[in-house]
Amino acid sequence: MQPRIAIIGAGCSGITAVKNLAEAGLTNLVCFEKGNRLGGNWVYTAAEGHSSVCETTHIISSKTLSQYSDFPMPSDYPDYPSHKQVLQYFENYAHHFGVEKYIRFNTAVAKAQKTHDECWELTLSDGSVETFNYLLVANGHHAVPRHPSWKDQFTGTYKHAHSFKNNHDMAGKKVLVVGAGNSGCDCAVESSRVAERVDISVRSPQYIVPKFMMGKPTDTFAKGVQWIPGPIRNVIQTLSLRLQIGRYRDYGLPEPDFPPTKAHPTVNSELLDKLRHGKVFSKPGISHVEGQTVHFADGSSADYDVIVAATGYKVAFPFFSHEFINWEDAGSVPLYQRVFHPEHASLFFIGLVQPQGCVWPLSEAQSRLVARLLTGQVALPSDWKKQAYEEAKNIEKLFLKQIRHAFEVHYYPYLRKLTQLARA
């Protein structure tokens, strides 16, 4: 008798989990999706309740390095497809592989509890309860905003980047964007098109990388130097960035004092252009906030109508009790290959990674590994539980010690490891 398998979430990770499990013959499965369509945060809506991309979002990894391995993106897609094109791609993928029949739409998992026999009891949004042998969590990690401590001291309009869907309400306003990650740069660029003034507060150095390098999408350029030893590759990437954009201090930004591979990069060509054209202005980190006045670490201050806090997200699983799993503020998370929990062998996490590249091919590789494991084609190393804790410590060595790097991976070495395990 086949095991019964539940997948939470029908976003980019959930649909490839369904596809790979079903392809391996594991068809007694249900994917629970709280929305009315698949695609997760690629389903754009202006409503604030739904975690979605912005109205003008394009992907930040190129199409050739963002597609599933056995389903290429259409040849007429641009190098960096729009969110509408990406969503269409996901829908086509799901239809092609017959994924939809396993998805139960408009059904959220309210509670997930492990039973004494390592099974999973799921309480659903309609009040019903169902039991499964295995649970795959693919709900994403960009749904619960992380707010700054001074949030309530600001008396102007405050919003997290999570709620920034378009620039319509920024017209004629003085706007401060806090944070220079991918979301922060997008918010600053979009606001600058209509706002009176836009400042961006950058607390610590960050690599802001243009989307094209030597005429090619930047990630394809990076792929071409993967054969070079790491230290030399870091030098090459740093020098190529220097030739491409100059020094960050020329843009008013703090200069990174660490290699590009030590932190999650920001991929954005427009912000650098806006900074040099006086459409966006750089500010240091925030000291404190009084009313609508923001005081910065260098002693300066300015008044703002709107603050957009691009201050990241908590890793949240609303269906788990905090006593069971709570990684919201964890700097270190023990998961073997970012998938397997050392204390819960029937629980798997799909897409819970922050790669220096696109997450979907990694979710696909994770799902293929889980499918082969559950069908007995491969086995994990005998000491995989021990390795889970060692991996968590190793991440702190590989990347800057920040909460946002708790799930960071180097794309190609990680993909190779998943592939090796699935072939073992």
85-108 pLDDT per residue, tens? 999 999 999 999 999 999 999 999
Rounded mean pLDDT of 225-252? 87
* CA pair distance 396, 400, nearest whole angstrom: 7
Q: What is the pLDDT of residue 384?
A: 96
Q: Of 267, 284, 309, which one is at a domain's C-terminal end? A: 309
Q: What is the pLDDT of residues 152-193, one digit of tens each?
A: 999 999 999 999 999 999 999 999 999 999 999 999 999 999
- How many CB atoms neighbour CB 249 within 10 A? 10
Q: Is the pLDDT of residue 381 over 80?
A: yes
- The reply to whether 105 and 26 lie within a common domain is yes
- The reply to whether 303 and 164 lie within a common domain is yes
- The reply to whether 169 and 212 lie within a common domain is yes
Q: Of 242, 276, 309, which one is at a domain's C-terminal end? A: 309
Rounded mean pLDDT of 340-349? 97
Confidence band for 359, pLDDT divided at 50, 70 and 90: very high
Q: What is the pLDDT of residue 116?
A: 93
Q: Is the pLDDT of residue 129 over 80?
A: yes
Q: What is the pLDDT of residue 50?
A: 64
Q: Is the pLDDT of residue 413 over 80?
A: yes
Q: Of 243, 275, 309, which one is at a domain's C-terminal end? A: 309
Which residue would you say has higher pLDDT here, 407 or 362? 362
Sign of CA dihedral 393, 399, 402, 406: negative
Rounded mean pLDDT of 292-312? 97
> Domain range spanning residue 75?
5-144+313-423
Number of domains in the chain: 2
* CA pair distance 346, 319, nearest whole angstrom: 16
- The reply to whether 139 and 186 lie within a common domain is no
- The reply to whether 353 and 230 lie within a common domain is no
Instruction: Please provide the average confidence, as pLDDT, over all residues in the chain.
Output: 93
- How many CB atoms neighbour CB 258 within 10 A? 13
Q: Is the pLDDT of residue 49 over 70?
A: no
Q: Which helix (H) or strand (E) holds 408?
A: strand 408-409
Question: Kind of pairing, strands 134-137 and 144-145?
Answer: unpaired
Sign of CA dihedral 143, 149, 152, 153: negative
